[in-house]
Chain A
């Protein structure tokens, strides 16, 4: 184990232990030490959950799409790592949203007494189906070298991840899109925006995994594939940015509507620094600069992809909080005071630490998983 790998393990284990204390605290004290509440019911945890869903689904859909639709068979070498990544991130997303529930032990009710008019029900059912598909596909993929039928079944399941993934991420968007009382979310655009965001972040993650995990790293063919992936990431990033600018400009032109107010909060509110600094600067501008260099190196491509993946972290939280901090009635904030009855929101230390624990658990899962795959003869992932 080299120094860099040791430092990865050290950081992940430290974050896991410190965050774990916050998780225990959350389980013992409930939601008393969170800043979300009655008027801003969803906050950082829901944002991190959405981010992880974008990441997980996007990676799997883009990977399967490139391999099966666009015939990029070279990517197949990283398949086990992509599947492992998707499965672990999915579990992380479920852990994060589970900790956000008021009554986590009752989650089974969504299977026993489901309300199918609620997109959240579909979201949970699709998550479950997706987890089963992923687990089964990984199982077949691990046996593919010795069993031809396993290879075929893994291939079939991989194709299934495309429609199921697209529906899953769109349904997660619909959870917000059906909220007609929140004009910024409401409508058909949000599920599509979720899908687009997922594809952008997924293409970047596939590039990163391929850069780190492909067995032919350093070869000319690998570099060529990386450059092609870089162009795909660049195209999706620019198209996504264009779509957002058009949408935002249209909403702002509508005048003093609730949507416009939410967008103004998004762009200039209390949390906007994270959007401009983390997303726009590090997640958009810097990667675009790296990807548009005449002959980007493999390192530059991987860095750009990593920045896109990390930069998108700031998007869901801002998107979720912006419409919630707008009072339904201007006089409501002053009508009655108490904890949770505020339209201001900033995550508490417990919220940050719990999310840190989730991300640390995902990182540790990937580190352990990559070692496990290495022992099985696969290439090593160095996250």
Chain B
């Protein structure tokens, strides 16, 4: 019986890495965050770096963000865009998470008629929910569609209340009744009050940063593709990454000077 010759050489087993195991970048960024928080706020420069080579499009960051900020239907801070490249069977997909870019020259700030949208000292573009009149000019101004409108919808709209003990509107509503901790305040969505009727957007999880915790999208990224930190700290991971030759920003031509960088 003729032997079937192997068509290809089997790959060599992966070599175990030599030396001490590399630490999780989250651990390093967490330590750097503590260091940054010890500085005055105006000396920090929060930036986010997203390594597109590592992003697998799992959308864990999107879901983590939605859960962290108790986002209602129609409001999203960090969608992950997917693009299929090539034609079958030679196709591949690439992914691009899109948080708010926290522009240094934000077009959304100058169009707000009441100054409810501001560039905070921390560099984060914030929205004073109780000042926002809901004109949505900032939504049309954003070149990244990074702002969404909270129209007051609920995940439970149309959900029937079932027998006691079963999961129905009342039981399932605990998520929607939970407050979102944004801009230093607990916001409950009820009675048409803010943030209902407002523009909403990613704020780099400022409430978590204040507590010394990295943003939800950073900690939930299973591929460690999202980095966050203080670019003014020369020893920080993000400072090193934003100096890489393969770094880019979205829509540079818009002149917005974003604080979100992508590694290609």
Contacts and interface: CB of A to CB of B under 8 A. Distances in A.
Interface of A: 29-32, 34, 37-39, 41-42, 100-104, 106-107, 109-110, 113-115, 117-121, 124, 175, 178-182, 324, 327-332, 334-336, 338-341
B148 A341 contact: yes
A330 B83 CA distance: 9
B115 interface: yes
Nearest to B255: A180
B47 interface: no
B140 A182 contact: yes
A106 B140 contact: no
B192 A120 contact: no
Given A180-B143, A328-B145, A113 B133 contact: no
A38 B200 CA distance: 9
A114 B113 contact: yes
Nearest to B130: A106
Closest 10 CB pairs of A and B: A102-B134, A102-B197, A335-B79, A38-B148, A181-B143, A340-B74, A331-B81, A41-B136, A336-B79, A120-B113
B111 A120 contact: yes
Contact of A103 (B141, B148, B197): B197
A48 to B, nearest CB: 15
A101 B134 contact: yes
Contacts of A178: 110-111, 141
A61 B247 CA distance: 54
B131 interface: yes
- The residue in A38, A101, A324, A329 that gathers the most chain B C-beta atoms within 10 A of its C-beta is A38
A110 B74 contact: no
B114 interface: yes
Given A101-B135, A110-B114, A118-B112, 20 more contacts: A31-B151, A31-B152, A37-B74, A38-B145, A38-B149, A41-B139, A41-B149, A102-B134, A102-B197, A104-B133, A109-B114, A114-B113, A118-B110, A118-B113, A180-B141, A329-B98, A330-B83, A334-B82, A335-B80, A341-B76
Chain B interface main SS type: loop
Contact of A39 (B96, B116, B145): B145
Given A103-B197, A341-B76, A120 B131 contact: no
B123 interface: no
Given A118-B110, A180-B107, A110 B75 contact: no
Nearest to B192: A30
A369 B6 CA distance: 94
A38 B140 CA distance: 9
Given A103-B133, A181-B142, A332-B81, A340 B148 contact: yes
Contact of B197 (A31, A109, A115, A181): A31
A31 B74 CA distance: 12
B144 A107 contact: no
A117 B96 contact: no
Nearest to A180: B107
12 contacts: A32-B151, A38-B74, A41-B149, A42-B140, A113-B114, A115-B113, A118-B110, A178-B110, A180-B143, A340-B148, A340-B149, A340-B151
A339 B74 contact: yes
B264 interface: no
Contacts of B142: 181, 328
Interface string B137-162: 10111111101111111000100000
B107 A339 contact: no
A328 B144 contact: yes
B75 A103 contact: no
Given A30-B151, A181-B142, A341-B148, A175 B137 contact: yes
Contact of B114 (A114, A180, A327): A114
A339 B115 contact: no
A115 B79 contact: no
Contacts of B151: 30-32, 34, 37, 339-340
Contacts of B134: 101-103, 106
B196 A30 contact: yes
A332 B97 CA distance: 10
Contacts of B83: 330-331
Contacts of B145: 38-39, 327-329, 332
Contacts of A34: 151
Contacts of B254: 180-181
Interface in B91-141: 96, 98, 107, 110-116, 131-137, 139-141
